[in-house]
Structure 1
Amino acid sequence: MHTVAVLALDQVIPFDLSAPIDTFTWARLPDGRTPYRIRVCSPTPEVTAGHFALRAPHGLDALADADTIILPGTADPTVPLPPGVAQAVCEAAATGTRIASICVGAFIFAATGLLDGQRATTHWIAAADLSAMYPKVTVDPNVLYVDNGQFLTSAGASAAMDMCLHMIRNDYGSAVAAHAARMSVMPLEREGGQAQFILHPQPPAPAGATLEPLLHWMEENAERDLTLDDIAAHAGTSARTLNRRFREQTGTTPLQWLHRARVRRAQHLLENTDRAVEHIAHQAGFGSSTAFRDRFKRVVGISPQAYRRAFRTRGAADRGGATRTSRKTVDQ
């Protein structure tokens, strides 16, 4: 039987803790046997987990004979590791134990030094902090999970289940993983390289920024074939001066900002209308459907059709853009 040790540190995120336990528990061999033994471990007898306290039946010594160690995230992943945690995880790794992190559990993983020189992921909202804290780790915020062989990292909540199903499939085959997926009400087919569904907001301008009226005008006219000279003329300044002011106040260029505005408009139309992709490309201000598909995939990470399937508002009909926006950021 394969032993999975889930390491719970104080302030552990409840779903990060329950996702691997539930997914591995649902796995069944063809003869009905459970292939995984789950152990919840902690350096202390009790840890906080959101609105409740959790008593862990096993200590750090249980990591030594685990086949897989799962590192869930904590409410503050920047807190230094408790004494003995890094040593216990590293000693297990030295014997070949598979180690996987969930969401911001990647910070715990990186703190052990085991991810140095490795590619890893975490929830997109924490990716920049992970990269800044651990520059030796190559952080990829655009995937669901990364499998380096012995070491795996995943993004947010649902991506953790994707990663666990991936491990079950590697351990016992697709049939066993498919059963666990059905019982977890999860699709089996999502691969690790699929993009995280990230909401890409406009780079904000500081309160009272002089560009604020211009930004509103650009967003209202995003469907037009605006050039840098057109925008500069409306602002009453030179293109060079406009570029400088944009970088100072938004951190990007006018045309990059405009492209992002068009993608956001396209996201709204894909979520809330039945219009064809070609129609949306024109309405959002892209010169062609080919240019639209290319830009959308580069910014969002998936094709417009895949985005629509994932985020389509249930029962939405084309009401000329009058439907309620249901833009979502999925916690993957």
Structure 2
Amino acid sequence: VAVNLAKKMLDDNAARLVNALLRQIEDFKIEKVLEREDKAEVLALKYSHPTWFVRYMIELLGEEEAIKLFEVNNSPAPVWLRVNTLKTDKEKLIKTLEREGTKVAPDADLPDVFRVIESRKPPIRLSSFSRGLFYIQDKASVLAGHVLDPKPGELIVDVCAAPGGKTSHIAQLMENEGKIIAIDISRLRIKALKNNMKRLGVKIVETKIMDARDIPRKLKIEADRVLVDPACSSTGNLRSRPEVRLWVKKKDVKRFAKLQWEILKSAAEIVKENGILVYSTCSMTLEENEYLIKRFIEDTNSFKIVKAEPFIGKPGFNDLTNAQRLFPHLHDTEGFFIAKLVKTR
């Protein structure tokens, strides 16, 4: 068919070229490629992951554990929902979803999270979604809000906040009492955040369109708690966002780590004494996580790390055992890192 199509639309030469290429493909033996001596290259081809990332994960986790990660990354990602307690409760939401043809299972670790078991239509198309009864949010991302542990009446700053998943979760944990300053550099993403807040019934958010590195200069405040979830290499999202595999490069890790460092240093300046600073990413690399936090603690000499509770993941690497990591193959979430810090002076 392809040869005839090439002949019809182009010419005989094109048809001959297509025929030759098809014969080469027919004779191609993947087994020969998989016989290469470089194990990382073989695994990268077999599991469709960037070669540099395969090498990195083998060094970090060991070959056996890394292969489990790659295998799970090639399976469908679960859909997690967070109940919006500003509008409903768990029991009512379960019944509402059942009437809409969606079956969910409560999570054993977090009180406001459900896993979708089956659904007649995508959750985003449900009436209960439109009415703001739930938010589609990965369990690991919801965990970051619980680790922050905001209280009603407090002043919270959510850095790199849009489109507002964590912002809205913080608001419901605060029972819509207090104030959240949500910062993002993108006007378009802030617009999406505002729309989400309206749908979810969040009333305590003030938005700021600004570069997070300018926080100390533009915000003269002392916040009770600050959440920093900056842009990252997204290497923890290779399951839910497989397209990331096509663009993420090893050099991106260094670039993101530099940006994260600048944002974290900036955000830390507005945390009040004895206030809380939570740092999270959906990256799997040490440079964007443990190395950065350890350097931050040593450089500032005004923050100490405390246990990131509720602690449902694995301890962080590089002796940062109070931080926690979640893995797709172990926790059925995105790859995620969370560290909790207290400002001591």
Give TM-score, length-normalised by structure 1: 0.26
Give TM-score, length-normalised by structure 2: 0.26
**Which structure shows the bigger proportion of residues in strand conformation?**
2
